[in-house]
Structure 1
Amino acid sequence: MKVLVIGASGRVGSDLAKQLLAANHQVIGTTRQEEKLFDADNYSQLDLDITAGKDTIQSQLDQDIDTVYFVAGSGGKDVLEVDLHGAVKTMQAAQDKGIKRYIMLSAVFSLDTSKWDNPGIADLKEYYICKHYADQWLVNNSTLDYTIVQAGALKERSGTGKIAVNDGDSGENSIEDVATTLAAVLNANNTIKKVFSMHNGETAIDEALASV
């Protein structure tokens, strides 16, 4: 497949792009960096500014892209421009371009405001507001074949290949396991039009996704 990874230079995005490249997908990675992120024949790079206008973003997208991944993040800076408005503009651009599949990396409990006073979330309230309304737009205002993956806290540690989904806990995730889950969603058609939470657990990723 021809896959666009928005945020390919990020912690999850770089790992996701590596896995998609290893699976022989044609990957277009977006980054504001000039240096090419990956030296692979099936990789190309796009300097995509998601704070630009929707039409500008849309003009840079190839017509034959099969799937868009949104794994970009503001890192706490310009959350409105990146995590909310930037994300929605990429959804609108993909939809107007005729691209159907859109896979969003979000945050655990992004759509459940009753959990926002929990430790670890209360300090990220502005980020959560942005993710909440971006996810709402994707679900309620787009015609995209979306999947929203709501990950708990990201940790720099080795992946286990095992996760838990939709168990009501926030939990923690190795970055590698989040990337592996996102990559697996590409071929898991049962996750289309679904939102699910994840954290490291005891079930193999493919088996866990089959239960979504």
Structure 2
Amino acid sequence: MKILVIGASGRVGTDLVKQLLADNHQVVGTTRQQEKLFSDDNYSQLDLDITAQKDAIQKQIDQDIDAVYFVAGSGGKDILEVDLHGAIKTMQAVQDKGIKRYIMLSTVFSLDTKKWDELGLGDLKGYYISKHYADQWLVNNSSLDYTIVQAAALKEREATGKIIVNDNNSGENSIADVAATLVAVLNASNTTKKVFGMHNGETAIDEAVASV
């Protein structure tokens, strides 16, 4: 498949691209960095500015893309421009291109505002609000075959290959396991039009994704 990864230079994006390339997919990664991120023959790179106008974004996206991942993040800067408005513009651009499959990396309990008090969000409140409304737009305003993966806190540690989904706890995730879950979702038709939370657990990733 030819896959667009929006946010290829991020922590999850880097692992995601590695895993997609290992599965022999053709990957187009977006980054604002000039240096090419991967030397693989199946990898190409796009300097895509998601703060640009929607039409400018749309022109840069190839017509023959089979699936799109949105794993970009503001890192706390320009939250509204990137995590909310930028995300929605990519949804609109992809939809207008006639591309159907769109996989969004979101954050745990993004759509369940009652849980936010339990999380003690502090400085993350603006980020959560942005993710909430971006996810709402994807679910309620798009015709895309979406999957939203709500990952818990990201940790730079070894992959376990095991997760738990929708257990109503926040938990933590190995970054590599989040990337592996995103890869598993790609061809899992049962995840289309679904939103699910995840964190490291005791179930093999493919098995957990099949249960969504």
The answer to whether the superposition gives a TM-score over 0.5 is yes
Counterpart of 2:170? 170
Which residues of 2 match residues 20-35 of structure 1 at below 5 A?
20-35=20-35
For residues 184 and 9 of structure 1, the distance between their equivalents in structure 2, rounded to whole angstroms, comes to 20
Counterpart of 2:103? 103
- Contact 1:116–1:122 (Cα < 8 Å) also in 2: no
CA RMSD of aligned residues (A): 0.6
TM-score norm. by structure 1 comes to 0.99
TM-score norm. by structure 2 comes to 0.99
For residues 6 and 170 of structure 2, the distance between their equivalents in structure 1, rounded to whole angstroms, comes to 25
Query: What is the one-letter code of the residue matched to 1:48?
Result: L
**Does residue 1:38 correspond to 2:38, yes or no?**
yes
Counterpart of 2:160? 160
For residues 109 and 122 of structure 1, the distance between their equivalents in structure 2, rounded to whole angstroms, comes to 15
Runs of 4+ in structure 1 deviating by more than 6 angstroms, as ranges, are: none
1:62-92 deviations in Å (ceiling 9; x for gaps): 0010000000000000000000000000000
Query: What is the one-letter code of the residue matched to 2:185?
Result: V
Mark the runs of 5 or more structure 1 residues left unpaired by the alignment: none
For residues 160 and 140 of structure 2, the distance between their equivalents in structure 1, rounded to whole angstroms, comes to 34
Note the C-alpha offset of 1:187: 1.1
1:106-140 deviations in Å (ceiling 9; x for gaps): 00000000011123534311000000000000000
Could you say what secondary structure the match of 1:198 adopts? strand
The count of residues paired between Structure 1 and Structure 2 equals: 212
Which residues of 2 match residues 174-193 of structure 1 at below 5 A?
174-193=174-193
Mark the runs of 5 or more structure 2 residues left unpaired by the alignment: none
For residues 22 and 190 of structure 1, the distance between their equivalents in structure 2, rounded to whole angstroms, comes to 23
Could you say what secondary structure the match of 1:180 adopts? helix
Query: What is the one-letter code of the residue matched to 2:181?
Result: T
